[in-house]
Structure 1
Amino acid sequence: MIYRKLGQTDLELSVITFGAWAAGGWMWGSTDRKQAIEAIKASYEVGVSSIDTAPIYGQGTSEEIVGEAIKEIPRDRVQLLTKFGMRWDLSSPKGDFAMHSADNNGHPIDIYKYAGQESVIKECEDSLRRLGTDYIDLLQIHWPDSTTPIAETFEAVAKLIEQGKVRYAGVCNYHVEQMKEAEQVLSLASNQVPFSMVQRDIQQEVVPYCLEQHKGILAYSPLQRGLLTGKIKPGHHFAAGDSREGSKYYTDAFIRATNAFLEKLKPLAEEKNATLAQLVLRWTVEQPGITVALAGARNAQQSVQNAAAMNIDLSEDEIGLITKWVDAL
C-alpha cells in the first residue's frame, strides 16, 4: 500500500481508502452487516488504514459498522473520515431539501442539507458515539447548505477542533468559491468530490485550485459505482432502493459505450495480471491532484482486490495511453 499526506496536514491516508457508503446499505439496496465488517477488517489487514463514512449512510448504520470493525485496532493506526450536513432526523424542516428517500427498512424519510452550528455539534457527537472513538481525523461537510452562512458552519467545526474532537476539517462537493469562503474561517485539508474516467468535471477548476493551494482531493465513485468494473451489462436490473436505477450512467447506451472502452483496457489489465477495476483505480490515483481514491466493498474479497490495485506498476507511457483512450470516450 502507498500512503500520502492529506494536503498540508500530518494526516497520512492509504491511497486506497475504504469507502463505507455501500456498507450502510442506503441507496445500495441493503447491506449485510457481518460481511461489511469483515470487508473493513480484511482491508485493514492488507494496508488500507483510512475509512470514509457518513451519518447518512444507512442513517447511522455505516458508522456503527465501521466502529464495530475497528474496535480491536489501535486507534492511532486508523484514520476515520466522516461527515455532517445531511439530516434525516429533524423535528422540523431546516436547510435545503435534498430528497425523498427510504431507510433500510423501507420507511420514508425526507433528507435535508443542513449545517447550522447546533446541528454540526450534534452530528459530531453522534458520530463519535457510533464510531466508538473520542476524535475524528477528518470531519467534512457532506454537501453545501445554501441556508446557513459558510462562516457559521466552519466556526462550529473550529470549536470541535479546539476541543480535540476533530483533527482536521474538509469539505465535499464544494466549488472553488465555497472553498475560499470556508478558508476565511479555518484551513481546509481537502475536498471530496466525484471523479472517474467518465466523470472528470473537477479537472476544470477544483483540481487546479487544490494543486495551487496544496489541498488534498479525495476522489469518490472512482469506479462509477461499479460501471467501470465491466461487470454491468445492458439490461442490468438493480435491487429495489438502489439509486443507480435511472441514472444516466446506467442507461443501456452508456453501459455499451463504457464497456467498449473497457475492452481496450483488457489487454493491459491482463498483462499486469490485474482486473479492470484494479487498473482503473491505479490510473485514478495517478491523476494530477488526486490524493486518494475511495473504493467501496460489500465483502472481504472485494476489499482485498481493491487494495491490490496499488501493486500494479504503470509507466508514464501506459498512464498516458490510458488517458488518451479516456479522452476519446
Structure 2
Amino acid sequence: MNTSPLIGELNTTPSPGLGCAAFGGTHWGVQDDRDSMAALATAIEAGVRHIDTAAAYGSGRSETLIGNLIRRRPSVRDGLLIASKGGIKGSKKNFLKEIDNSRRRLGCEVIDIYYIHWPMEGVDPIPSLEALAEAKEKHTIRYVGVSNFTSRQLTLAHGNLPLDACQFGYNLIWRHPDTGIIPLCGQLGIARIAYGALAQGLLSGNYQPWSRFPEGDDRDHTAFFSDDHAVELTAGLSTLKALCAQYHVPLRSAALHWISSREYLEGSLAGARTAEQAKENFQLQRIDSELLDKLHVAGKEISTCFGNTENFFRMQ
C-alpha cells in the first residue's frame, strides 16, 4: 500500500483547522465580510494552519476573502495548508478552469489540497479526476482529494487516480464513517479529514434540534435539525451537557477536543463566523481524558438515531 505523504504533513498540523463555508454568506445565513476577516485572522493568530474553503462558498466569495488576507499579508501564506474544492465537471478542461479560478481568488500559485466537492448523479467523475492529475503534475496543486464520496465512489475514484485526501462529515454524534470511509481510507493510505466538528452548530450550545433558520440556510436540510430526530437529539444533548458540567467544561470545547484527539483522523475542521467564535474554537483548554472517553460512548449511542444515513446533508 502506498501512503500519501499528506498524512505525515497533517500529523504535524494543529487540529482542528478552520472551515470557511460560512464566509460565503449564502448557505449558512447572512455573513459580514469584516466578521469573516476577523475570524480568519484570529484563527491564524491562535495557531490554526489548515484553512479549508471551496469555489461554491458564495460563488468564490470565501476564497476571495482568504486571498485578500494573503495579498495584504504575504508572509501569512508560509506554513498554511490551504485546501479548496471544485464542483465536478463533465470535461477536464472545465475542471482545470475551476482550479485556476480558485488559485486566482486565493492569490496562491499553488493550492495545497484540491478536492472534487461532491459526486453528482449521472456525471462521470473521470474528467475531473484527470484534471486533478494534470494540475498535480504541473504543480498548481500539491495533493488531490474527494469530498462527500461514498465508500464505493471513493474506491472507484482511487482506482483511477491515487488520492491523497478524503473529506467527510464526522463529529461526536455523527459516526456513520466509523464503519465505512474511515477504515477504507486507512486501508488505502488516504488522509482522513472530518468536517462539521460542531454538528453545524448543534454541539456549540447555541442551538437546539428544533431550531429553525432563515430561508436559504442549509442547516434546515440537515439531519441535525430534522423533526425526525429532535426527541432523541434533545435527550442526547442533555446527557452530553450533564457529563461536561461534571468536569466544568463547555460542550463546544469538549466536542472539539474529542474530534481533534481521534488518532484515526489526520485532520478535522470547525467553522467560525466571528473573532469571538474563533477564540472559542481554537484556544481550547485542556480536558480530562476520562471525560473524552465518556463522551465517546455517549456520542456513539446518540448517533444510532440517524440510522444508516451516509451524509447528514442527504437524509434518506
- TM-score tier by shorter-chain length is 0.7 to 0.9
**Stretch moving more, 248-257 or 180-189:** 248-257
Tell me: CA distance 1:115–1:63, structure 2 relative to 1, closer, same or farther (3 Å): farther
Offset of residue 190 of structure 1: 1.3
* 2:289 maps to 1:319: no
Cα 1:9/1:181, change in 2 over 3 Å:
farther
Q: Aligned residue for 1:30? A: 30
Report how many aligned residue pairs link the two structures.
296
1:84 is aligned to 86
Alignment of 1:1-329 (within 5 A): 6-7=6-7, 12-71=12-71, 72-74=73-75, 75-85=77-87, 113-233=88-208, 236-251=211-226, 254-270=229-245, 273-309=248-284, 311-315=285-289, 317-329=290-302
Deviation larger for 67-76 or 17-26: 67-76
Deviations 1:25-50 (A, max 9, x none): 11112210011011000000010011
Unaligned residue ranges in structure 1 (runs of 5+): 86-112
Which residue does the alignment assign to 2:306? Answer: none
Q: Distance in 2 between matches of 1:305 and 1:209?
A: 33
More helix by share: 2
8 Å Cα contact 1:9/1:189 also seen in 2: no
- The 10-residue stretch of structure 1 (58-67 or 268-277) with the greater mean CA deviation from structure 2: 268-277
Q: Greater share of strand residues, 1 or 2?
A: 1
Contact 1:138 1:168 in 2 (8 A): yes
Which stretch shows the higher mean deviation, 38-47 or 275-284? Answer: 275-284
CA distance in 1, matches of 2:90, 2:7: 24
Give the conservation status (yes or no) of the 8 Å contact 1:19–1:51: yes
Counterpart Cα distance in 2 of 1:76 and 1:266:
39
CA distance in structure 2 between the aligned counterparts of 1:241 and 1:217, rounded to whole angstroms: 29
Alpha-carbon distance in structure 2 between the residues aligned to 1:234 and 1:15? 27
Greater CA drift, 132-141 or 284-293: 284-293
Asked if the contact 2:10–2:267 (Cα under 8 Å) also holds between the matched residues in 1, the reply is no
Are the structure 2 counterparts of residues 10 and 231 from structure 1 closer, same or farther at C-alpha, using a change threshold of 3 Å? closer
Rounded to whole Å, the distance in 1 between the matches of 2:168 and 2:185 is 12
Extract unaligned runs of 5+ from structure 2.
Answer: 303-316
Give SS of 2:7's match.
coil
CA distance in 2, matches of 1:230, 1:60: 30
1:177 positional shift? 3.0
Query: TM-score, normalized by length of structure 1?
Result: 0.82
Change over 3 Å in CA distance of 1:115–1:297 after alignment to 2: farther
- Is contact 2:247–2:291 with CA below 8 Å preserved after alignment? no
d(CA) in 2 for partners of 1:155, 1:252: 41
Deviation at 1:134? Answer: 0.7
Question: What is the deviation of 1:267?
Answer: 4.9
Q: Which amino acid aligns with 1:162?
A: E
Distance in 2 between the 1:165 and 1:230 partners?
A: 40
Distance change in 2, residues 1:151/1:312 (3 Å): same
Q: Do the aligned residues in 1 keep the contact of 2:43 with 2:282 (CA within 8 Å)?
A: yes
What's the CA shift for 1:259?
A: 3.8
Deviation per CA, 1:42-88: give whole Å up to 9, x if none. Answer: 00001001110001100111111111133314222211100111xxx
Q: Structure 1 CA distance, aligned partners of 2:143 and 2:154? A: 15
Q: Distance in 2 between matches of 1:161 and 1:314?
A: 42
Assess if the C-alpha contact under 8 Å between 1:25 and 1:31 holds in 2: yes
> For the residues of structure 2 that align with 1:202 and 1:171, how far apart are their CA atoms?
15
Local SS of the residue matching 2:219: coil
Q: Out of 237-246 and 209-218, give the one that drifted further.
A: 237-246
The amino acid across from 2:62 in the alignment is S
Paired amino acid for 2:60? G
Q: What do the CA deviations read for 1:219-246 (whole angstroms, capped 9, x no partner)?
A: 1112111111222136533123212225
For 1:263 and 1:180, the matched residues in 2 are separated by 38
1:160 partner SS = helix
CA 1:252/1:206 → structure 2, altered by over 3 Å: closer, same or farther? closer
